[in-house]
Amino acid sequence: MYHTHAHSRQDGAVIITVALMLFFLLGFMGIALDFGRLFIVKSELQTAMDSCALAAAQELDGLADAKTRASSAGRTAGNLNRVDMQSATWGGKGMIVDANITYRDSTYTPTTSALAARYAECTHTQPDVRLWLLQMLGVFSGNTTTFPTTQNVGAFAVATRGSAQTTCPIPVALKAKAGGNAGNNFNFLIGEWVTVFGNRTPGSGELGWYNLDGSNSANETKKELSEGGSCGTRIGDVLGTPGAQTAVDTPWNYRFGIYKNNELPSINHPDFTGYAYTGVNWRNLPPQNAFAGQPATGSDPTAENYLIKRGKYSSFDDAGTNLKDGSRIAFNDQNALNSFKTLATPGTGGEHMTYGYSRRLVVVPVIDASSRVTDYACMFMLEPLTGPQANAHLEYRGLAGSPSSPCTTNGIPGGTAGPLVPVLVR
């Protein structure tokens, strides 16, 4: 009888021990799984903040509207990422807004001045990330303080602009004028319009299509012009001369918010403005300076410089969304872009503002007679292409590596004299 009671007590002790072990094992499992989830959300959020800061820093060119453009670019780039276990809506708990993006000057002091802003900082907290197993432990133990049901996760990133080792130019190259070099802006005037020839090899003082990878493929030209482009061009690279162009007008015109079929501005991003400049609507003599100048007498009534139009988020049709009206303004021909159908919408809250970033200020390689890259120029895309082999025009804006250059690019940071690129510093 005594032996039977002792055996029963031992059974009870084993049950209690096993229960305690299971409790602790469940706790360790909860820590592993829930903190693993927090780590994933933290990594996703950090990627979004990095994207936000890099995109915002790219716009910090010291101009009056730099902060507005930077916030729009940072918000757009950051929110393209997925957060909270790859949720496209970030779990419905709030995505990046302008208030999450702040700025600092060259001494790293907080500033609200667009002229002084040199660093962009993106900060965001993902609230109430649910902890499933720890929540169960809290309920089981009756202690929700020790075992919280949710946890906030935060991340931040800071970026600025610095010289690049490599660049991401468009597949268009510039040949210097006779006697031109970097010291005299290759004999171009700031604001001068230069022709991109679509159907012949360019001569001195002209632009032409050149593949950055050195190939002769026309499909490669389109690929390099498309969003994402080609990032790896270095001084000394030899560029390739592509064959007849068949499709470059589509990615070129995306930058103006002009679309053929069912393309979306949220995917095929426009510039902040699609307003175009030609000799029809901008009657200035050389240097024409559509970037920052004043329209000459005889220019179209809608004509204002790019900086103004960018601040208004104007479309190709200025304040409208009619492709034919935009074609009339730019080309005096409402049918000039017949193969295209729709425009990005203008104004505050429109698609140029919501999805736009700097896509018409481009870095262009400067090449010698052997098609070898010797330097980089900053240039401004003036008008859409009316066809894949049509001529276009770019406006010369100076050396791409100048601290005052409005152009930035993407590429590997860490150079000493290359075009400016956004680079993470924190």
pLDDT in tens, 335-350: 999 999 999 999 999 9
Q: Is the per-residue pLDDT at 91 higher than 70?
A: yes
Residue 243 has pLDDT above 70, yes or no: yes
Q: Which pLDDT score is estimated for 70?
A: 93
The answer to whether residue 327 sits within a structural domain is no
Would you state the pLDDT for residue 132? 63
Task: Report if residue 183 sits inside a domain.
Answer: no
Which of 21-35, 160-174, 295-309 shows the highest mean pLDDT?
295-309
Token pair 């152009």 is at which residue? 407
What pLDDT is stored for residue 143 in this prediction? 55
Q: Domain range holding 24?
A: 2-163
pLDDT of residue 246: 84
Arithmetic mean of pLDDT, 5-32: 58
Place of tokens 């902060």: 67
- Angstrom distance (rounded) from CA 272 to CA 355: 8
Query: What per-residue confidence (pLDDT) applies to 421?
Result: 85
**Burial (CB count <10 Å: 0-12, 13-18, 19+), residue 389:** middle
pLDDT (0 to 100) of residue 184? 96
Q: Report the alpha-carbon distance of residue 388 to residue 424 in Å, rounded.
A: 37
Is 300 inside any structural domain? no
The torsion region of residue 238 among left (phi > 0), alpha (psi -120 to 50) and beta comes to beta
Domain for residue 250, yes or no?
no
Q: Is the pLDDT of residue 418 over 80?
A: no
pLDDT (tens digit per residue) in 160-192: 988 888 889 999 999 999 999 999 999 999 999
| Closest to 135 (Cα-Cα) out of 39, 36, 31, 38 | 31
Compute the distance between CA of residue 346 and CA of residue 320 in angstroms, rounded to an integer: 7
Asked whether residue 3 carries a pLDDT value surpassing 90, the answer given is no
Residue 387 lies in a domain: no
> CA 357 → CA 43, 194, 219, distances in Å?
25, 24, 25
Q: What pLDDT score does 384 carry? A: 98
Q: From residue 340, give the alpha-carbon distance in Å to each of 43, 214, 253, 279, 322.
A: 40, 31, 9, 22, 11
Q: Comparing C-alpha atoms, which of 397, 392, 413 is closest to residue 364?
A: 397
Taking the C-alpha atoms of residue 176 and residue 199, their distance in angstroms, rounded to an integer, is: 19
| pTM attached to this predicted model | 0.73
pLDDT (0 to 100) of residue 216: 93
- pLDDT tens digits, residue range 114-132? 999 999 999 999 998 777 6
242 within a domain of the structure (yes/no): no
pLDDT in tens, 264-293: 999 999 999 999 999 999 999 999 999 999
Give domain status of residue 20, yes or no. Answer: yes
Domains: count for the chain: 1
Quote the pLDDT of residue 425. 92
Comparison of pLDDT for 424 and 145, the residue scoring more: 424
pLDDT of residue 84: 87
Q: What is the mean pLDDT of the chain?
A: 89
- Identify which of 18-32, 123-137, 190-204 has the greatest average pLDDT: 190-204
> What is residue 128's predicted lDDT score, i.e. its pLDDT?
83
Q: What b/e readout covers 56-95, taking b as 16+ CB neighbours within 10 angstroms?
A: bbbbbbebebbbbbbbbbbbbbbbbbebbeeeeebbeeeb
Mean pLDDT in residue range 243-254: 91
Is a pLDDT exceeding 90 seen at residue 244? no
The answer to whether residue 137 sits within a structural domain is yes
**Are 320 and 282 spatial neighbours (Cβ–Cβ below 8 Å)?**
no
